[in-house]
Structure 1
Amino acid sequence: MHRITELLDKHVQNNLTPAEEQELMQYVKSEEFDEIFKQQISAYWQTGEGDMPLPGDRQTALLDKILFSESSTSRLLEKTTTASKKRKKTIVFISVLLLLTGAAFFYGKQSATAPQQVAAVVPQKDIAPGKTGAILTLGDGSTIVLDSARQGAVAKQSGTRIVKTAGGALTYDVTEHAATSEVTWNTIATPRGAQYQVVLPDGTQVWLNTASTLKYPVAFRKGDRRVILTGEAYFEVNSNEQAPFKVAVNAHGSDGEVTVLGTRFNIMAYEDEAAVKTTLLEGAVLVSRSGNSKKLIAGQQAIFPPESAAAIVVENTDTEIAVAWKKGFFRFDQRQLPAIMRQIARWYDVDIAYEGKIPDIVFGGGIDKNLPLSRILSALGKYGVRFETDGRRITVLDPRSTESK
């Protein structure tokens, strides 16, 4: 048995020592052993030990796809949960391997106290994942459905040409005259089940997650770059020391603002989530709320707790979790089922209901967002989560109804 095989077996069983984990990491970083990793992980799929057995063509697609890391640096990530003895939570381990080849594989393991695996009840007619799409509202109130709009100029306002590129993004071609004229605002909104990219008049790139809205001027006035966000967006801001870029957010009844010069960051400000979160990937930002301000450095996350109108909590974080949605994945970091189902509801444009007690399960790891809904529900079903579906309504069933049968 090759040493890598031995270490992977122990990794799946959650039995790696710190020294062995470091040894496995070194193998992962070396291109020399890529083929061994491919063969071994493929064997896990074929024997059914993987979380989601896939046909050969899908395995190949996953192997060829680069996931979370934007650089060539390989990482081995393992997200696990720990059980609270008082609450007796079900433990779910989903390990994610990120190789130089871009492969990601998910494994599942349950504790001895976990409920018996029950297949999820999935829709007879499957629901496709989300797509690229948004609605643009111009300053005069007229609207343009961008996913069906043709490539090229879609509108002109205040001397600014609004263009849909060949790649599907929206850009603004600003003239010098437009930049000094009266401010005209545009609003771009993604419905549930859609994402979109827009390049703002100053060159700042914004990726809007599903069910999100961004309001911005068609041309920024000198020294003033301000936009308004609801929902979630990832920003790559063009540096301009004379005009800091500002993002205003308003969720849970509390105003907040993020001020930057040039940086990459993600803001999550959904009303149905527990808190507003700003995650900084590069550069520095100043996060403000009701007169209180804190500066973030790369690798930190600012949280606006809903129970306070001014508090800002700053924590170190895994930034890849915050931007996984942009890269095509759901990432779970000790997330309970309702948090996962809220993401599913937005991305697949479905309504979620609960019957009786909510399954007390904590998840880690991640899963491909480009899968049809049935595959996502089947994966969750392996951990005792049961569903009933009626069109676009998904009901999470009380696990006790299974135990009594």
Structure 2
Amino acid sequence: MYILVISPVLLTMKNENLPLLIEKYINGTASPQEREQLLDWYRSQQPEQVEWPAATETEETETYNRMLSGIDQQIDQQIDRTYKAPVPQTKWYYMAAAAAVFLVGSLAVYFYNDQPAAAPMPALSFKNEVKPGGNKAILTLADGSEVVLDGATKESFAHQQEVNIARVGEGQLSFDRQSDTQIPASTAVKYNVISTPKGGQYRVVLPDGTKVWLNAVSSIRFPSYFSAGERKVEISGEVYFEVTKNKTMPFRVISGDQALEVLGTKFNVNAYANEGQISTTLAEGSVRLKRSSSAASSILKPGEQSQLKTGKSKLAPKIVTADLEEVLAWKNETFIFNDTPITEVMQQIERWYDVELVYSGHKPDLLFTGIIPRNSNLSTFLKVLEGTGGLKFGIDHQKVIIQSIR
């Protein structure tokens, strides 16, 4: 049985008719109206499974071959219609809408390249499986003691300055301050740190009710309670916030060279040290941000992204339009890539699957477009990338060997 996951739009079309429509599209027998209906369904990017049974293994093979043949025809037609000049030698381009299909739970993405194939490379293999990451983190309390959060109980397991610390759900920690308690102004504030390792993610509710999502290899430092006039946290890695509104207490986020201020909003900050920039994407509300060493600031609007170069750069942040679905995919348990350099895709694999990347030969200069569930095993993810035709992978314990075949 083939399982395809394509992106449907909310149409009157019944789900049971989709396999027939897909089959007609592949075979070239779909009417113009049916083709447009299927393409509209694909463009909406709301994953849904569609199944059709194959009676025998031979029938499965025939269906698979017909599908590939149909996609190849789409690619050839698109090239003839669109590209008059040569395609750049070092880039691969996503060419056909019909190519955005999951095969056996994975996305098959097809590219076109006009350069000849290189000589055959030594065969690589998947010697073992690597499971995806999950809910795990470490809480470091002010006294230096550590709590492994993936093993914490649901009941309160710590108490700090009139604040109860408890796991309130799978992968979620809460700092619940008792509203009827008063903490003397002279009391020194205690700070906590929650950090996720490779292959980890976690959520936390701060003492003011602000919700925080931590991606892999990320951290947040915050006080056990917020004193009057300010709510300030420090982060590294990638963190998503849903800030509780409080006009009298602005919420500040410090991430490396960047300082960000909000009153109440939803935003994502990507501040991995090895990525060369801090990307702040606003989903809702408004934020003001600036370089820590500069008085100049920028205001973000919903749907915009600030890109602040790190290191010795003194440039103001660049403001661009963001793809919110792609930026927030990690929070929604999905990988979404739109013409993403394969090296950046591999960085996400490295963090989420807790693996070491080993490039055999030169690093490939390819772009990838696709949608892959974050709960996929590593071999499934790599087989999707191999489907582009330009890469081969091997797994050896916690190492991933990447080999370019172009």
| TM-score, normalised relative to structure 1 | 0.76
- Matched residues in 2 for 1:19 and 1:274: separation? 47
CA separation in 2, counterparts of 1:393 and 1:378? 16
1:321 to 301, 326, 334: 326
Instruction: Give the deviation of 1:177 after TM superposition.
Output: 2.1
Q: Report the alpha carbon displacement of residue 84 of structure 1 after superposing the two structures with TM.
A: 8.1
State the match for 1:60 in structure 2.
none
Mark the CA change 1:7 to 1:275 in structure 2 (over 3 Å): closer, same or farther: farther
3-state SS of paired residue (1:38): strand
Aligned to 2:281: 279
Distance in 2 between residues matched to 1:84 and 1:291, nearest whole Å: 47
Partner of 2:135: 132
Map of 2:233 onto structure 1:
227
Deviations 1:181-236 (A, max 9, x none): 42110000000001000000000000000000100001000121000000001111
Q: What is the aligned partner in structure 1 of residue 76 from structure 2?
A: none
CA contact 2:18–2:50 (8 Å) conserved in 1: no
The answer (yes or no) to whether the contact 2:109–2:370 under 8 Å persists in 1 is no
Quote how far apart the aligned CAs of 1:398 are.
Answer: 4.2
Question: Who is 1:85 aligned against?
Answer: 87
Q: Say if 2:51 is the partner of 1:48.
A: no
CA displacement, residues 98-136 of structure 1 (integer Å, 9 cap, x when unaligned): 9xxxxx973422315375999983432201000101000
Q: CA, structure 1 residues 39+137, in 2 after alignment: closer, same or farther (shift >3 Å)?
A: closer
In 2 relative to 1, CA 179–335 (structure 1 residues): closer, same or farther, beyond 3 Å?
farther
Q: Which moved more, 1:328-337 or 1:214-223?
A: 328-337
- TM-superposed CA distance for 1:299, in Å, is 0.7
Q: Which one of the candidate residues 355, 360, 370 is aligned to 2:360?
A: 355
Tell me by how many angstroms 1:45 deviates. 9.0
| Aligned-pair CA distance for 1:274 | 3.5
Instruction: Give CA deviations for 1:10-48 in whole Å, capped at 9, x if unaligned.
Output: 9889xx9x9999755766799xxx99x936899999833
State how far apart, in whole Å, the 2-side matches of 1:108 and 1:283 are: 35
**What's the offset of the Cα at 1:256?**
0.3
Please say if 1:298 is aligned against 2:302. Answer: yes
Secondary structure of the structure 2 residue equivalent to 1:242: coil
CA distance in 1, matches of 2:299, 2:208: 24
- CA offset digits 1:129-176 (Å, max 9, x no partner): 001010000011111001012111121112211111133411112133
Aligned equivalents of 1:149, 1:92: Cα separation in 2: 45
Would you say the 8 A contact 1:179–1:221 is kept in 2?
no
Show CA shifts across 1:55-79 (max 9, x none).
Answer: xxxxxxxxxxxxxxxxxxxxxxxxx
* C-alpha contact 1:163 1:172 (8 A) present in aligned 2: yes
Quick one: structure 1 residues 169 and 142, their matched pair in 2 at CA, closer, same or farther if it must change by over 3 Å? Answer: same
Q: 1:107 to 1:356 in 2, by over 3 A?
A: closer
Q: 1:179 to 1:261 in 2, by over 3 A?
A: farther
Change over 3 Å in CA distance of 1:21–1:336 after alignment to 2: farther
User: Mapping of 1:6-405 within 5 angstroms?
Assistant: 24=38, 38=50, 47-48=63-64, 85-92=87-94, 106-111=107-112, 113=114, 115=117, 121-175=124-178, 176-178=181-183, 180=185, 181-250=187-256, 255-289=257-291, 290-306=294-310, 308-382=313-387, 383-399=389-405
> What percentage of residue pairs aligned between the two structures are identical?
34
* C-alpha contact (below 8 Å) 2:26/2:67 kept by paired residues: no
Letter in 1 for 2:219: T
Letter in 1 for 2:263: L
Structure 1, unaligned runs of 5 or more: 53-81, 99-103, 401-405
Secondary structure in 2 aligned to 1:89?
A: coil
Query: Cα RMSD between the aligned structures?
Result: 3.9
Q: C-alpha deviations, 1:213-270, integer Å up to 9, x for none?
A: 10000100012100000000111111111111111001xxxx1012111111111000
- Of 362-371 and 179-188, more deviation after overlay is shown by 179-188
Q: Structure 1's 21 and 256: CA in aligned 2 closer, same or farther, altered over 3 A?
A: farther
Change (3 A) 1:241 1:263: same
Name whichever of 306-315 and 183-192 sits farther off: 306-315
Q: Does the 8 A contact of 1:179 with 1:222 survive in 2?
A: no
Q: Tell me the amino acid that sits aligned with residue 380 of structure 1.
A: L
